[in-house]
Structure 1
Amino acid sequence: MKKIKSQKAVLIILLSNIFIAFLGIGLVIPVMPSFMNIMHLSGKTMGYLVAAFAVAQLIMSPFAGRWVDRFGRKKMITIGLLLFGTSELVFGLGTSVSVLYLSRILGGFSAAFIMPAVTAYLADITSIEERPKAMGYLSAAISTGFIIGPGIGGFIAEYGIRMPFFFAAAFAFIACALSLFILKEPLSKEQLAEISANTDQTNFFSDLKKSLNPVYFIAFVIVFVLAFGLSAYETIFSLFSDHKFGYSPKDIAAIITISSIFGVIVQVFMFGRMVNLIGEKKMIQFCLIAGAVLAVMSTVITGFWAVLTVTCFIFLAFDLLRPALTTFLSRAAGKEQGFVAGMNSTYTSLGTIAGPAMGGILFDVNIHYPYLFAAVIIVIGLGITVFWKEKQWA
């Protein structure tokens, strides 16, 4: 097992792949309202387009995880990047709604391929001691892609509303070519065959049934409720800013970028201390209260600075909520880490499918409804945490 330092080129390529995938997802956020206006799309359609990505990822993930062990990490990474580039290109060229749906489905498949393949590759090339550090780099690459994506997208959009999609496609094809020529498969065919044979053939449906056990169920319901409320809020944000305040892609990009950077700084420097001080459960409840109050405030504020301030704090609440919940679940899971992590991902995906679809439908009725709806859902989540007995987990 080589040290991370001696694997620098490989590590840079792997992290660049993840960075580019999430940069591509972020790039297109600020141009969505303008795209919606040009194509005469309803809020409902926009919500369904976001949900289509999550549905495709959810369906493909169980297969992709097995294929990573069967066909190798490198193959799955390059196929994922090729699919991602194609999906962005198709969206940029698309002039009918059916083509846009096809693009989002391809995008969901690509995310299902890239993520587990890169994670497995990193685990293969790092020692147990260095793995947390490598996974920290991975998490940072994802966050950075998300943060600077909307900013870059907002500026590229000045040269044409479809340009961010073409940029994202070009980035993905370059990353695909680099991966093809520079990455080497970390495991031999024999090792892959052995892993594939040993892969516990646990069934997705048996895991889902197990998640209904009262010990886990309340935690997973909160995961679902959060993903549902947050994605309903986040999907509608750029449409809401465009329709209510007439913000340009550049304005929307600035708000999202500043809010995200603020969230990451607090997360990096203060999250650990805050959790040690008040514990995960209180942290989760505090973030839920803040999220609900700020979602309601979003419907009554006016002026760029007020919008920026409220958005900064609501994104911060969401940014602190996710790791607090994940830490709580992993601490409570004991030996069931794999099962809990898998179900956490599944319930998050289910929420991410339902939230944007519901948010889009409500947006067409009244642009304030998705935010008020998100607040109600978050309050329900808060109510559920009251019944959360940590002793059940111990």
Structure 2
Amino acid sequence: MNRLIVMNMEPKKTSKRIEVIIFILFALGPLTGNVILVLFGVLSLEFSVIPSALLIAIPSFMFPFALIQLFSGAISDIKGRFPVILLGLSVFGIGMIVASLSFSLTVFVIANVLAGIGFGFVNPVLIALLTDITPGPKISKKIGLLGAVANLGVGFGPLLAGLIINIGWRYLYLIFLSISVLGILIIFTLRRNQSVTKSDAGIRAFFTNLAQEIRRLPVILLVISAFLLSHTSIATIIWTSRSFTHIIPETISGIVIALFGAMGFLGGFLTGFTIKKKGVKLALTIGLISLFIANIILVFFGNNSFEALPFTSLGLLFMGFAGGILMTLVMFYSQTLSIERRGALAGLTTAFQFIGIAFVPMIYEPFFNSGGISLVYMIILMVSLILLFVLTLLYTLVKKIDNK
């Protein structure tokens, strides 16, 4: 593919400013998508629906969020990163306005669809943009930090919601709107001074990029891993939060979820350094061990009662740590398997991750209704065993390719 370098060489200060806004915006997606975890109670009263009805808000955001990412990363490989990000933030901001004005569950769902579409144009492009401006030896470190920030958003969103709902839940979406407007202004300003890599090819190259990558076995294993990860760590926090509704106060629930996110932040942060210093194998081993420690604690000791809260919280800490490590590893692979198609691979990987999250409410609800949170934890353990096999196969295959 022919490449064109547009604009001037970027100054170091400009690159640093871009890194900062990348990290802030990358946290915004999970921050927005996960506030619902502690809003079941207040929104069920606001919209006069049962708490379970609000689960529709998760796939309403996640499905368009995921589907758009199938294409947005590859589009940015061709048209450039900044125009795609600006488009996405604009649509996302409209979604936040609609959410803040919602008077029914239907309107709230529409707001989430708009937000999902908008951020679908942002999420994978931020990953590709970060690797564009990062020297090769430092990519693992930067991806680790990016994964850490995303996990912090997962935990901080519900904590923020738990603190603000006493003032008014609508203020949450006004805060998110303010962040998106700030992002638009900063990106629009910085794009004039930043070198941008884009292609002179057209729509045919766009489909070629996707087709070439999705046929490769490592990429197939990569996207399966991303999908399964959403049914382990993310499924755990979604359904634990749902089980806490009207049993554990929102403030305490928010703190527990924040600790989950903090451990994810720690896991992602340490993974970047571990890959750089010791390689992928050690990070993968630590992540998988943490995953199964979490599963054992939750299956045998965890539930949604006050008495079991310390054990449930401990299990969530290990689960958050494991999720932070393993998702960072998956993102690292997405940016190193094909340097020329980083946007396409980032889009495919994050798309399948969030498609998985979108299916979490539907897949696990029958188990929750028939056996409660304990049965959900048992199913997550089974999914973890499949994930163990897929990640091990991915690592082995990539290692063989690297050794050739």
- Normalising by the smaller structure, the TM-score range is 0.7 to 0.9
Answer whether contact 1:224 1:347 (CA < 8 A) is retained: yes
1:232 maps to 235
Q: 1:58 to 1:18 in 2, by over 3 A?
A: closer
Q: Percent identity?
A: 17
The 5 A counterparts of 1:242-281 are: 242-243=245-246, 246-269=247-270, 272=274, 279=282
2:3 maps to none
Q: 1:178 to 1:90 in 2, by over 3 A?
A: same
- Deviations 1:102-133, CA, capped at 9 Å, x for gaps: 22221221222112443444455555566666
1:370 maps to 376
1:169 maps to 177
1:89 maps to 97
Answer whether contact 2:367 2:376 (CA < 8 A) is retained: yes
Which residue identity is paired with 1:265?
L
Q: 1:33 to 1:294 in 2, by over 3 A?
A: farther
Give the structure-1-normalised TM-score.
0.78
Q: 1:144 to 1:195 in 2, by over 3 A?
A: farther
Does 1:345 pair with 2:350?
Answer: yes
Answer whether contact 1:87 1:106 (CA < 8 A) is retained: yes
Q: Secondary structure at the match of 1:159?
A: coil
Does 1:4 pair with 2:5?
Answer: no
Give how far 1:56 is off. Answer: 0.6
Answer whether contact 1:26 1:153 (CA < 8 A) is retained: no
Give the structure-2-normalised TM-score.
0.76
Q: Secondary structure at the match of 1:302?
A: coil
Structure 1 unaligned spans of 5+: none
- Deviations 1:268-311, CA, capped at 9 Å, x for gaps: 34772897697466445424422332332322763343443232
- Deviations 1:56-91, CA, capped at 9 Å, x for gaps: 123212332344355543332232222222222322
Q: Which stretch of the first structure deviates more once superposed, 106-115 or 380-389? A: 380-389
Q: 1:25 to 1:185 in 2, by over 3 A?
A: farther
Answer whether contact 2:71 2:347 (CA < 8 A) is retained: no
Alpha-carbon separation, structure 1, partners of 2:283 and 2:362: 30
Q: 1:294 to 1:123 in 2, by over 3 A?
A: same
The 5 A counterparts of 1:111-150 are: 111-125=119-133, 135=143, 138-150=146-158
Give how far 1:148 is off. Answer: 3.0
Q: Which stretch of the first structure deviates more once superposed, 319-328 or 156-165? A: 319-328
Alpha-carbon separation, structure 2, partners of 1:311 and 1:233: 8
2:289 maps to 286
Q: 1:16 to 1:336 in 2, by over 3 A?
A: closer
Alpha-carbon separation, structure 2, partners of 1:141 and 1:275: 22
Alpha-carbon separation, structure 2, partners of 1:230 and 1:365: 21
Which residue identity is paired with 1:64?
S
Which residue identity is paired with 2:87?
I
Structure 2 unaligned spans of 5+: 1-8
2:88 maps to 80
**Count of aligned pairs between the two proteins:** 386
2:298 maps to 295
Give how far 1:207 is off. Answer: 4.8
Q: Which stretch of the first structure deviates more once superposed, 309-318 or 221-230? A: 221-230
- Alignment equivalent of 2:359, drawn from 321, 332, 354: 354
Q: 1:282 to 1:71 in 2, by over 3 A?
A: closer
Give how far 1:239 is off. Answer: 1.8
- Deviations 1:232-285, CA, capped at 9 Å, x for gaps: 322222221124xx2232212211112322343355347728976974664454
Give how far 1:16 is off. Answer: 3.4
Alpha-carbon separation, structure 1, partners of 2:339 and 2:74: 21
Alpha-carbon separation, structure 2, partners of 1:383 and 1:120: 28
- Computed over aligned residues only, the root mean square deviation of the Cα atoms, in angstroms, reads 4.0
Alpha-carbon separation, structure 2, partners of 1:92 and 1:360: 28
